[in-house]
Amino acid sequence: MNESTFRDWYDALLKPSWTPDPATIGLIWQILYPIIFVSFGFVFLQALRKKVPLRAALPFAINLVANLVFTPIQFGLRNLPLASVDILVVWGTIIWMSAAIWRHYRWIAVAQFPYFIWVSIATVLQLAITWMNR
């Protein structure tokens, strides 16, 4: 039996009618990754310089790890329930990190808004796909 590619596997999943095209999803991430890189890098640098407490940087670190492991979980392991848990962690840590950094650097918290909006949409999509393919 031939192992299908991740794209074949994903295309075969049941998905809501409003699922964005993969090219659109890729474009959105291309816009978000520079915002994430700059804002997270700034927070980590400020934490290393002791200008913000490490506890303010903690949700950024957790978010980064959860974001990075989503693709291997979803497309490598092809584990929809675990990917759903992971994206809920990503979503929740965006709220946590915005609250944690607000009193130190409000612009960082505000910069997370597009990321939060997209991950909110992606979370609903992931949960829907998981439910539809149970």
pLDDT in tens, 6-39: 889 999 999 999 999 989 999 999 999 999 999 9
pLDDT in tens, 70-103: 999 999 999 999 999 999 999 999 999 999 999 9
Produce one character per residue of 62-99: b if its CB has 16 or more CB atoms within 10 Å, e if not.
Answer: bbbebbebbeebbeeeeebeebbebbebbbbbbebbbe
- Statement: residue 41 has pLDDT above 60: yes
Give SS3 for 14: coil
Q: Can you tell me the distance from the alpha carbon of 61 to that of 18, in angstroms, rounded to the nearest whole number?
A: 31
- Statement: residue 1 has pLDDT above 70: no
What phi and psi, each to the nearest 5 degrees, are found at residue 103? -75, -15
What secondary structure letter does DSSP report for 52? S
Give SS3 for 16: coil
Torsion angle, alpha carbons of 21, 80, 35, 96, to 10: 140
Domain limits, the chain: 21-132
End-to-end Cα separation, the chain, in angstroms? 23
Q: Can you tell me the distance from the alpha carbon of 16 to that of 62, in angstroms, rounded to the nearest whole number?
A: 29
The whole-chain average pLDDT of the chain stands at 96
pLDDT of residue 5: 87
Q: Report DSSP letters for 65-115, one per residue.
A: HHHHHHHIIIIII--HHHHHHHHHHHHHHHHHHHHHHHTT-HHHHHHTHHH
Q: Residues 51-66: what's their mean pLDDT? A: 98
